[in-house]
Amino acid sequence: MTAVLEAVDVVKRYDLDGVSVEALRGVSLAVEDGGYVAVMGPSGSGKSTLMHLLGGLDHPTSGTIRLGGVDVTTLSADAMAKVRNETIGFVFQAFQLLPRTTAAGNVAMPLVYRGVPGRERRRRAEAALAAVGMSHRLGHRPAQLSGGEQQRVAIARALVGDPRVILADEPTGNLDSRTGGDVLDLLERLNAESGVAVVVVTHDAEVAMRARSVVQVRDGLLVAA
């Protein structure tokens, strides 16, 4: 199968107060179309750094990142943003919803950057919210929603652009176990029904066990799961 997301011998180095720190030390990982992968590791292991690089939110110090087969390591910021917008849907632990914007408005936001007309943005946002069971909350703002409902809106926002992969960074971290389980059920259903690849970054073994494959990050390296 084709890799929709790929890291090849990736190194990420930070200079902190004159000290060079390697957050990643030659990591290679491929995520296939339709795959479901958990990236697991303790705090400070490098897993969040890896997620930011896989999502095109940062550049590696060396190595190659491919999104949808495109090597993004040599692209300009604008060109990378375009590939990222067309390939990746993001789900964050803290939801990252605009507080004064309705659920439908939050979900439609990625389409604004694509230049999609307003009426079409609305139609697609409503369809994405329906897919996650949130049709009854179109006009509600984040403060009017529970944590689980906010995460469903965030997943709908990730889906609205028809991405090839969803990157979910600790998607259950701010939720109780039952609500978190519902969110994971939803991600699994979307993966199975739509074929979108899912990558979940987590420190929680129970969350990781829901994926079809697990990789572990420790001290900036991938180790056997």
Write out the two tokens for 166. Answer: 């969803």
Cα(225)–Cα(39) distance, integer angstroms: 10
pLDDT of 108: 96
pLDDT of 225: 60
Q: Are 134 and 149 in contact (CB under 8 A)?
A: yes
147-159 and 118-131 helices cross at what angle (nearest 10)?
Answer: 130
Q: What percentage of residues in the chain have a pLDDT greater than 90?
A: 69
Collapsed DSSP state (helix, strand, coil) of residue 139: coil
Closest by CA to 146, choosing from 121, 170, 182, is: 182
pLDDT of 1: 62
pLDDT of 26: 94
* 163 secondary structure, DSSP code: -
Cα(118)–Cα(39) distance, integer angstroms: 37
pLDDT of 93: 87
Closest by CA to 215, choosing from 84, 39, 56, is: 39
Cα(58)–Cα(35) distance, integer angstroms: 23
Collapsed DSSP state (helix, strand, coil) of residue 89: strand
pLDDT of 105: 96
Cα(27)–Cα(143) distance, integer angstroms: 39
pLDDT of 17: 80
Could you tell me where the DSSP H helices lie in 14-164?
Answer: 47-54, 77-87, 103-112, 118-131, 147-159
* Domains of the chain as residue ranges with CATH: 3-223 (3.40.50.300)
Instruction: Give the pairing of strands 221-223 and 70-71.
Output: unpaired
34-80 pLDDT, tens digit each: 999 999 988 888 898 999 999 988 899 999 999 888 898 888 988 98
Flag residues of the chain having pLDDT under 50: none
pLDDT of 68: 84
Query: What phi and psi values does residue 217 have, to the nearest 5 degrees?
Result: -115, 125
pLDDT of 121: 95
Query: What phi and psi values does residue 110 have, to the nearest 5 degrees?
Result: -60, -25
104-113 pLDDT, tens digit each: 999 999 999 8
Write out the two tokens for 11. Answer: 């190194």
Cα(45)–Cα(12) distance, integer angstroms: 12
